[in-house]
Structure 1
Amino acid sequence: MMKKYLLERWSWILLFFFFQGIILLIGYLDPSLSFQSMLYIVLLFFVIFIIFFVIQYNREVLFYKNMEEWDPKIGIENIQEGKTPFEKVIESTIKQQHSYYIKEISNHVTSVEQEKDELLSWIHEVKTPLTTIKLMLERIEDDKFKEQLLSEWLRIHLLLDQQLHLRRIPLMENDLFIERVHLEKVIVSEIRSLQTWCLQKGIGFDMSLEAPEVYSDGKWLQFIVRQILSNAVKYSENAEIEIHSYQKNGAVVLEIQDYGRGIKEKDLPRIFEKGFTSTTNHRDHAATGMGLYLTKNAAKPLKIKIDAQSKYEVGTKITLTFPKSNDFIKLISM
């Protein structure tokens, strides 16, 4: 801080030494004046200046030290009150700016919340005609044409579902209801919802659940399984998807293995990032890069550990490790 203070007051210090130099020059050039007396005066002024400089440093630097050490996260209340006119100007400006941004942020938050509510309302309203459209599609006699339409209908449904849960995830912890969930019931329900798509792509399922139950939130677990299965179906063709569950070190593990396109090794660490759609095929416009991102974020509050293993052109295995008993107690106390 001393270095900064010297730089701030450099012009004043130079002015002081300039005046002392003039005094000494006058004492040297004017024979009627004693040079030693002038030198004594200059030394006296210098001592007084040093004392004055130290006192002013301790007084003036205190406010700026506080500003330098101030953490904006703590709040504006911790800013030291200004004593000098300039310090009061700085303090007043910061507080006015703070009040302005607080007001602006509040307005933006209100606006965003309103838009979010409107979007959620719109999604729910769209689901009603979608359900009606599905019932109408079921009455189409041409099976091949019906399968194609139902497949496209399913994609729209899944995209709407992603958007709905994307808006709900930030408040997910307020919506949790932990209960005993039957894995078979959840998985079979999601397979049935993807049935048309699976028939179109020639995909079957091999399911073996040695650990049939877990403690979790049924609604959010269903969403997680839906995202993983829809990804497995999307990138597979004429193959089986294997689903297994078992106990490992007191925790239930659920594995979903597909034999589809797979993921390149360089892409694997990034598959849970928002918007990442892999470098394998940039022309794959059907990918949104949101499925696994939402899955990862939904798994965190449920204390579910999610891992992915994959080999390009061989397949992908997603592993869900559910919390142990002691972790589950912490989860219920949330």
Structure 2
Amino acid sequence: MIKAFLIERRSWIAAFLLQQILILLIAFVDPSIPFENVLYIVYLCVMIFVVFVIIRFRKETAFYKSLEEWENNLDVTAISEPETPFEELIEKSITGQTEQLKQSALRNGLALENEKDELMAWIHEVKTPLTALHLIIDRMEEPSLKSQLSYEWLRIHLLLDQQLHQKRMSFIENDLSLEMIKLKPLIIKEIRDLQSWCIQKGIGFDIQLEAEEVLSDAKWLSFIIRQLLTNAVKYSEAADIVINSYEIDERKVLEVKDFGRGIDRKDVSRIFDKGFTSTTDHHNQSSTGMGLYLAKRAAKPLLIDIDVHSELGAGTTFTLTFPKRNQFEHVISM
């Protein structure tokens, strides 16, 4: 701030110093003017000027320091009161622009909220004919056509489900309801929803649950497991998917292991990135790259750690590590 102040006032300082040099030069050239007396006067003027600069520095920079330290959170109360006409102009401009930004942010927020509500309402409306369509497909007798339509219906259902949970993600902390959840019924339900797809691909499930219950939110845990199972089924062919749970160091662990094509080592660290699909499979246009990203985001407020281990051509294992019960204290208190 000192450097900035001196640069700002460099023209004044230069003008003062030139004046003092000029006075000394005149006294030096003109023998009738006592040079020592003029030198003394110049010295006093310089001292007075230094004190003046220090006072003005402390007085003028208080306002600008508050601007420098001001966090741009649309709160102008942290800015010091202006003491000069120029500071008043700056403060007035900032206040006006801040008010405009607040109004703009409010309008954009309301528009975004309305758009989100409309989209969620649309998704719920679409689910009604989608359910009716599923009932019609169940009554079909042609096995091949029925299988194809069931698969396409499932794709639509899963995409709508992702979109619905993506919109709910912004207020997930207010949507949590923690309880002891039995894993087996939850997993069986998710597998049953994927049944037609699994039959089409010849995929079975091997479920071994030593840890039968976990403390979590049933709705969001179902969503996370759904994304992992969908990912496992998508990249597997004619093989079992192994689901097991156990407890280690007072933490419950759930593993979903497939024997599909696996993930390239260079892609492992990126699979939870938004929109990332794969660098090895360029023919799969159905993948949105959102499932694992949303699963990771949903796991964070639930204090669930998601890890992945994979070998290309050998399969992939996703591991959900649940928190200790006492780690949920700050979540429960919200």
Q: TM-score, normalised by structure 1?
A: 0.93
Deviation of 1:52 (Å): 2.2
Counterpart in the other structure of 2:142: 142
Aligned residues: 334
Letter in 1 for 2:69: E
Q: d(CA) in 2 for partners of 1:31 and 1:329?
A: 89
Match of 1:313 in 2: 313
CA-based RMSD: 1.9
For residues 245-294 of structure 1, what are the alpha-carbon distances to aligned partners after superposition, in whole Å with 9 as ceiling and x for unaligned?
Answer: 12222222111100111111111112112111121223321111111111
Q: Sort the Cα spacing of 1:2 and 1:268 in 2 relative to 1 into closer, same or farther, 3 A.
A: same
Q: What is the CA distance between 1:111 and its match in structure 2? A: 0.6
One-letter identity of the residue aligned with 1:301: P
AA aligned to 1:252 is K
Deviation sequence 1:16-74 (CA, Å, 0-9, x none): 12222333343344455444454444334333322322222222222222322333359
Q: Which residue of 1 aligns with 2:217?
A: 217
Larger CA deviation: 159-168 vs 28-37: 28-37
Amino acid at match of 2:61: V
SS in 1 for 2:266: coil
Q: AA paired with 1:164?
A: L
Query: Which amino acid counterpart does residue 283 of structure 1 have in structure 2?
Result: H
CA distance in 1, matches of 2:268, 2:130: 35
Distance 1:266 1:232 in 2: 19
Report the 3-state secondary structure (helix = DSSP H, G, I; strand = E; otherwise coil) of the residue aligned with 2:269: helix
Partner of 2:308: helix, strand, or coil?
strand
CA distance in structure 2 between the partners assigned to 1:96 and 1:322 by the alignment: 49
Equivalent position amino acid for 2:106 in 1: S
Q: Aligned partner of 2:288: which letter? A: T
Give the Cα–Cα distance (whole angstroms) in 1 for the partners of residues 101 and 244 of structure 2.
52
Bigger mean CA offset, 166-175 vs 54-63: 54-63
1:179-234 deviation line (CA, Å, top 9, x unaligned): 23221111111111111111111111111112222222222221111111111000
Structure 1 residues 80 and 275 mapped into 2: Cα distance closer, same or farther (>3 Å)? same
Match of 2:182 in 1: 182
2:193 aligns with: 193
Task: Give the Å deviation of 1:135.
Answer: 1.6
Q: Which amino acid aligns with 2:233?
A: V
1:172 match: 172
Amino acid aligned to 1:2: I
Asked whether the 8 Å contact 2:74–2:102 carries over to 1, the reply is no
CA gap 1:15/1:193 in 2 versus in 1, 3 angstroms: same
Q: How does 1:87-236 map to 2 (within 5 A)?
A: 87-236=87-236
Q: Structure 2 vs 1, CA of residues 328 and 5 (structure 1 numbering), >3 Å: closer, same or farther?
A: closer
Task: Decide whether aligned partners of structure 1 residues 84 and 330 sit closer, same or farther in structure 2, where only a CA change above 3 A counts.
Answer: closer
- Give SS of 2:211's match: coil
Alignment of 1:38-49 (within 5 A): 38-49=38-49
Aligned to 2:333: 333
CA distance in 2 between counterparts of 1:257 and 1:265 reads 17
Change (3 A) 1:40 1:254: closer
Give the structure 1 partner of residue 69 of structure 2: 69
Equivalence map 1:13-28=2 (5 Å): 13-28=13-28
Moved more, 308-317 or 66-75: 66-75
Displacement of 1:75 in angstroms is 3.3
- Partner-residue secondary structure (3-state), 1:323: coil
Residue in 2 that maps onto 1:259:
259
How has the CA–CA distance of structure 1 residues 24 and 295 changed in structure 2, closer, same or farther, with 3 Å as cutoff? same
Aligned-pair CA distance for 1:128: 0.9
Distance 1:111 1:126 in 2: 22
Take 1:319 and 1:92, find their aligned partners in 2: how far apart are those partners? Answer: 56
Gap runs ≥5 in structure 2:
none
- 2:273 is paired with a residue whose SS is coil
- Between stretches 292-301 and 33-42, larger displacement belongs to 33-42
Contact 1:305 1:320 in 2 (8 A): yes
SS at match of 1:242: strand
> Cα deviation per residue 1:80-128 (whole Å; 9 max; x = unaligned)?
1010111111222222221111111111111100000000011111111
TM-score by length of 2: 0.93
Corresponding position of 2:289:
289
Q: Determine if the alignment matches structure 1 residue 7 to structure 2 residue 7.
A: yes
1:15 counterpart SS class: helix
Does the 8 Å contact 1:303/1:331 carry over to 2?
A: no
- Match for 1:107: what amino acid? R
Paired-residue identity, %: 54
Q: 1:77 to 1:205 in 2, by over 3 A?
A: same
Residues 51 and 214 of structure 1: is their aligned pair in 2 closer, same or farther, counting only changes over 3 Å?
closer
Deviation at residue 9 of structure 1 after TM alignment: 0.8
